[in-house]
Structure 1
Amino acid sequence: MQHIASLELSVLVLNKFFTALHVISAKRAFVLLCKETAEIVSVDDGKFNSYDFDSWKDVSLYRAKSGLPEEDTTSWIKTVSFEIEVPKIIRLLFYDKHPQSNIKFNRRNIFARDENKCQYCGRRFPTFELSLDHIVPKAYNGKTTWTNIVCACTQCNKLKGGRTPDEANMKLMRKPVRPKHNPILSFKLRSDRYRSWKQFLDEAYWSVPLK
């Protein structure tokens, strides 16, 4: 259903000093807004505007009455009594810590680094159709590290099995590396929806062209 997909949209989280921290789901963002521990930051014509949950409902009502571009309809949540637009950015009102420089090694970041593309066939898949593959298998003492783990589709993972790429006559799309920047942010910035995030990120994040 559309509202379920909308709740899974990504929201950039800032600390109280407007420094980017991480990315969360819209569902989690609305929880923080309802608890009044965060506010919405909207970038409109180059200007920053802040809203709490109630005022954002009013803004959403105004935008809905004004008419929405067709591509924006998936960014809305419909309830029994009102419609509300999914924010792109929120700011934590009481959190002043800065983001950790260490990038976590986990499935989510690996999928983002590899852009949800199987590193053997090159096709892009939804996350639930991807798995993680050890380039050098564990049976050959392959390590679980950034440089030995790639995302692979079910078919390619099954085809490769417990072999090395050379043994399976398969080639990697690119050599896996440890990312220098948060791969989720870098991946999301390729979408026009998250263009406003650029205002709060170092230029190195958005040096890739948006599409």
Structure 2
Amino acid sequence: MRDFATGRKKDLDLVIARPAGDSADMEGSLRGLAQKYDVPLDATQRALLDGLPDIQVAPVGAVLVALEAKAAMTAHIKALPRLYDELNSSHVCVHGASAQALAIAYIQVNSATEFASSVSNNFSLSNFPLRVSRHAQPKDTLRVLSKMGELPRRTRIGENGFDGIGVTVLDFANQGGPVEILNAPPAPQPGDQFHYDAMISRMAHEYDSRFVAV
């Protein structure tokens, strides 16, 4: 999408918008993304997806909701400046395109004590031993959460900041094992403003308030 105020372009992870151009030119849909990206779904998950409106994938016209997703998987402290700057620039771009639009940030933070990064293991593992990065947990996770708490938020149109922020804490060593969602502290707890459910609830409420006629 493009910031109308500055002309700057930025790729965002999810944008709900009025489409640009004729609907006949649209290709793909929300439900079709699961098949396109080979997302594994059980019967219950498939039924939930089939129950959603099959929104068409199309070029962005007038923006309604824009979500930027970022992750801090390893080298948490080193990655903080880039993580913060990339998130902060996204709400500026969204509101530069439309002051009415909802700008949402979603962050995943890895709480695992070690992580096998694809960057540091960019070679054949049959010839070299696995390089594992060590994390000082929960200190590293808490440091990221603290920095995310500095992101600006807004409560009304015309202010600067995000309209909603959500954080999920994972336990992900990236060595062939499962990805676990951490519900205990330091993960945001139910009722916290950065809890995933709170992000969804706030986004839905603000959408209903601003775009009731859409």
Is this a same-fold pair by TM over 0.5?
no
TM-score tier, shorter chain, comes to: under 0.3
Higher Cα Rg: structure 1 or 2? 1
- The structure in which a higher percent of residues are helix is 1
